[in-house]
Chain A
Amino acid sequence: MKNIKILGPGCKRCQATEDMIRAEAGKLGVDMTIEKVTDYAAMAQFGVMSTPAVVIDGKVVHAGGLPKQEDIGKWLGA
């Protein structure tokens, strides 16, 4: 079970990122929980400066802009 956090103030692209990850996880049949982090202090704890950012199991894998579909597949597969 993967724990995925999406860091961002709730902009359009944060939602798009979440949708992309949900779709990809559904396709690959990966078990996961998605959590949205909108609190700036919590975001800063991860050291992230550009949003949306993606954290998987406590590790920052992406920051700034929409992730690429093939990257999402890699994160979920690993």
Chain B
Amino acid sequence: MATRSTAPSPWRRSASAWSMGLIVTLIAWFAIYRQLQPFSNWAAAHLPIQPGTSLAEAVSFFLYDTAKVLMLLTLVVFAMGVVRTWFSPERTRAILTGRREGFGNVVAAGLGIFTPFCSCSAVPLFVGFVSAGIPLGVTFSFLIAAPMINEVALGLLFALLGWKVALTYLAFGLSIAIVAGWVIGRLHLEGWLESWVRDLRTAPVDLEAQRLSLVDRFEAGWDAVRDIVGRVWIWIIAGIAAGAFIHGYVPAELLSRIMGQGAWWSVPAAVLLGIPMYSNAAGIIPVVEALLGKGAALGTVLAFMMSVIALSLPEMIILRKVLSIRLILVFIGVVATGILAVGFLFNALFA
């Protein structure tokens, strides 16, 4: 009776079937992707809306962007889901144990990009790192980099705004994670941890090494697609709706006056505005795209995006279980300062 669901069906198990399926899917993906613009124009034209109006423009933008972003997201998440099977929090911890501050911060920030991470496991991860003797500053470098620089953010930035913006975001995100973690380490705030965390010493768990076949890795990629795309699509729709509204209705001169290069105060305003706002990269990037299209300065917009993603209130509330309020405030202060610096630097460089 167990044969029905436990025995894997043969085609799902076979690497050649997976490879064939992937190739066919990729070809279909590109074919559909190229037809998105004409299709969304056609769909918008068949809706009972007066053509040529702001509403028609917003609807067409909404349809096109939704399809485009969802397709790109699926591709990026699948690829990254496969790559991430070579990384795990346990392995990352083993790599970081015994590293000194400085170089340790660099390694931690780099690993933050690839290690599977979600804010719901931020606490066990934090505790696991600290209890293994990894310095607090190095742990923070990881904790800042992991949510801020992720495949969704980089993939969508690359696809919607080009490789220059994506690389800039990567470089600045890494710098903030490294420097902010290093600064927190220099401040020697170990005493500000909740006491149960400080006293905890654990031996690393030795899970039996799981040997993964190529098929396992592909399946992990597909699981990541179902999980992440299933979770963030609602944010994407919300973000694109906001982007479509900006695209269709907000006058360009107003926006460039508020968020343009001339307004120095717009960078701190963007950071402050971003802290209580919570969205993930998928939801915020369509807004970023629309803002840039209306003449907002790149530094200001990137600062806004980093603030929304890296400094989120829900994550702070989760981290409160292990960090004292004072330590959380220092964390917010140091990261916000880093984001400010990046915003100003960028606006100055590309003025």
Contact = CB atoms under 8 A, between A and B. Distances in A.
A50 B207 CA distance: 12
A30 to B, nearest CB: 12
Given A27-B2, A64-B116, A49 B203 contact: no
7 tightest Cβ-Cβ pairs between the two chains A and B: A47-B205, A49-B128, A49-B89, A44-B127, A47-B202, A50-B89, A60-B205
Contacts, number: 75
Contacts of A11: 120
A65 B93 CA distance: 18
Interface in B1-19: 1-2, 5-6, 8
A34 interface: no
A57 to B, nearest CB: 15
A29 B2 CA distance: 11
Given A44-B131, A45-B202, A63-B90, A73 B121 contact: no
A43 B203 CA distance: 13
Interface in B53-94: 88-90, 93
28 contacts: A27-B2, A40-B321, A41-B196, A41-B200, A43-B124, A43-B127, A44-B124, A44-B128, A44-B200, A44-B202, A47-B203, A47-B204, A49-B89, A49-B90, A49-B121, A49-B127, A49-B128, A49-B129, A50-B116, A50-B125, A51-B120, A60-B205, A61-B207, A63-B205, A63-B207, A64-B121, A69-B6, A73-B2
Most buried by A among B2, B89, B205, B322: B205
A28 interface: yes
Nearest to B216: A68
B6 A50 contact: no
B15 to A, nearest CB: 17
B193 to A, nearest CB: 13
Interface of B: 1-2, 5-6, 8, 88-90, 93, 116, 120-121, 123-125, 127-129, 131, 196, 200, 202-205, 207-208, 223, 321-322
A70 to B, nearest CB: 6
Given A47-B128, A63-B90, A40 B123 contact: yes
B5 A64 contact: no
Given A40-B322, A50-B116, A64 B205 contact: no
Given A50-B121, A61-B208, 16 more contacts: A9-B120, A9-B123, A27-B1, A40-B124, A41-B127, A43-B124, A43-B127, A44-B200, A44-B202, A45-B200, A46-B202, A50-B89, A63-B205, A64-B121, A65-B223, A73-B2
A78 to B, nearest CB: 12
Contacts of B127: 40-41, 43-44, 49
